[in-house]
Structure 1
Amino acid sequence: INNVDYYGSCKCDDGQKNLPDNTKCLRTDTRPDGEQSGRAGSCKNGICILKNVTKGCEGSKVPKFAPGSLPPFGCAYFCKPDNGEYTFFPQGTPCQHKVNRTHVVNGTCKISGDKTICTEDVALPLAC
């Protein structure tokens, strides 16, 4: 990520020894929008500790996407990734939702309680 190497585990290949503390690592976690994805962290005592995330981004501009490009994954974006500050795309934004490890569908960002989630676009049944 940004030309920095991250490890998928904080254990050495032998499974016994720990990587040095503060080694960059990745761990699957639930994002603020409910999507599962890899998040960056640092190793401590053999465990990948993730940075805390906080909702904020007041005054930040919503990222724009080039016409014809894929929609964003999920409905949360990090305006200040170094300090873990995020917010949500506006309701109605096209998005991608991961149904399972291998299946991704197109959806639309919808407000659900205190967060915004990517809801799969489903065709309505034909009327009589």
Structure 2
Amino acid sequence: MPTTLTKKAEMQSWLSERNISFNKTMLKSELYAVIKNYKPKHKRYEIDQLFLAANHNLVRLPQYHPDLNHIKSVRAELKDYATLRRFFHRIFFRAVEISQKSEEMDIIVDNLVSDSNDEDSDTDSEQEDEDCNLSGIGIIIYRQ
């Protein structure tokens, strides 16, 4: 289908193929005015022809009509869902990371307590045993 951007020679050939009379001296704008008179008003899609052949009615909705095409509202809901999913995804992995660090800290504290208890069992003095007993003391190590 010729448009206003189509070359003059192509417009003339389109008119000739359809046996539409025109003057060869016509300007491009004049040729397009003739083409508009014979050009179909609506686009014809193959899917439309298939529906008509199967005796089905096909109703096309106007583009960008907010009451009939709910794409913007659906897109907004999908965007909110994706944002929440990303947010909870980050929280989950942060919780896992903190949990792993917590387990590492428990192991460090347990090792320190068991090392100090092992050292205490080697000493003979009760005073040193009381001074070195670390049970019940928590050591917190923060790494960033």
Sort the TM-score into its range (normalised by shorter chain).
under 0.3
Q: Which has the higher helix share?
A: 2
TM-score (normalizing by structure 1): 0.18
**Larger relative contact order, structure 1 or 2 (CA cutoff 8 Å, min sep 6):** 1
Structure exhibiting the larger radius of gyration computed from Cα positions: 2
TM-score (normalizing by structure 2): 0.17
Q: Which has the higher strand share?
A: 1
